[in-house]
Structure formats: structure tokens, C-alpha cells
Amino acid sequence: MADMDVFLDRLDPDMCVVTAAADGEEAGCLVGFASQCSMEPVRFVVWLSEVNRTFRVAGSAEYLAVHLLAREQHALAEVFGGQTGDDVDKFRQVRRRHGYGGAVLLEDTEAWFVGRVVERTPGGDHVGFVLDPVEWGGSGTSGGPLLRLSDARTIEAGHPVD
């Protein structure tokens, strides 16, 4: 598959932090595999690795929250991408509140929405959570650059793959 890197290495998606809450548990991780997947209705899909704690909590969550970060919010990306909730409580390190349906909203992000999970679709080692937006907001006033994969490549994924 080495040749496929010619394609994959050109990708530089905006990163997001996806949070999940269910059964008294909260989780969240940094996600690069995400995109709008429908126009009418507007829907968005986030792909969660089956090994992550966030995936396990999201498995029984009715709603997920998706946040876009400003480029300078690298430290926030490091909390959610470089640590696993299996070992640390990420939410003690950030400011957050609760939103629609008990979703966990991170304060001070550029833009966010809460989506109802309408489908879980297998993709390989990640599962796609198709989301129907029910609440949204964000500071977004700066309109500055978002944190992208090229900004986050230095973060070593917090959850071991095996």
C-alpha cells in the first residue's frame, strides 16, 4: 500500500475533537477522519477507532459533540489526541459544560455542533457515526485558521492501536 501514500500524504483535513457521554461516562478524542456526508438533510460523519475509549462510550451514546479548534489550540488537541481516557480524566484539564441531550461541550472552540447518532457504519478499523445536527454554536469570531492534520502530526496517538 506504500504507493497509496502518494494520495494520503496530500490530505490535510481540519481536526476535530469528538466527545461522547453515556451511562454516566464521558469520553473524547481527536479525530481527523470526519466530513459532511449529506446536504439535505445536513449530516456529518465522524470515524472512531474501535480501540479508543471514545468509541466504546459512543457505542451507547445518543448524541456526540464535534468541535473545531483554532490552529493555536494545539495544547487542547494534545489533551484529546495524546492521552487516553482509559488512563487519565481529560475533562479535568479543560473547561466544559453540558449541551443538548447531555452532550459534553468544550468551551472556547471555534465552532461546534451536537449531533444525534442516526447510523453507525463499519469502515474497516474505524466505525462511522453519522450525525444529524440538533444544536450548534462557537466563538468563530476570529475566523482564523483551524487546526489541521499538519499542525497535529507531532501528537502521538494516546490510545495504543493493539
Ligand X SMILES: Cc1cc2nc3c(=O)[nH]c(=O)nc-3n(C[C@H](O)[C@H](O)[C@H](O)COP(=O)(O)O)c2cc1C
Per rule CB under 6 A, is residue 19 in the interface with ligand X? no
Q: Are 44 and 115 in contact (CB under 8 A)?
A: yes
Our finding on whether 127 is near ligand X (CB under 6 A) is no
> Is 31 a binder of ligand X (CB under 6 A)?
yes
Residue 85 or 115 with smaller CB distance to ligand X: 85
Residue number with CB closer to ligand X (54 or 73): 54
**Residues near 2 by Cβ (< 8 Å), separated by ≥ 6?**
none
Choose one: 1-9, 45-53, 59-67, 116-124; the region binding ligand X (CB under 6 A).
45-53
Contacts of 90 (CB under 8 A, 6+ apart): 28, 79, 80, 83
Q: State in angstroms the smallest separation of the CB of 77 from ligand X.
A: 8
Among 21, 26, 27, 109, binds ligand X (CB under 6 A): 27
Contact of 85 with 126, CB cutoff 8 Å = no
CB-based contacts of 39, cutoff 8 Å, min separation 6? none
**Given the rule CB under 6 A, which of 23-31, 62-70, 130-138, 139-147 is the region that contacts ligand X?**
23-31
- Could you tell me if 106 and 67 are in contact, meaning their C-beta atoms sit under 8 angstroms apart? yes
Could you give the CA distance from residue 6 to residue 155 in angstroms, rounded to a whole number? 22
Q: Which residues bind ligand X (CB under 6 A)?
A: 27, 29-33, 47-49, 52-54, 81, 83-86, 126, 149, 152, 155, 157-159
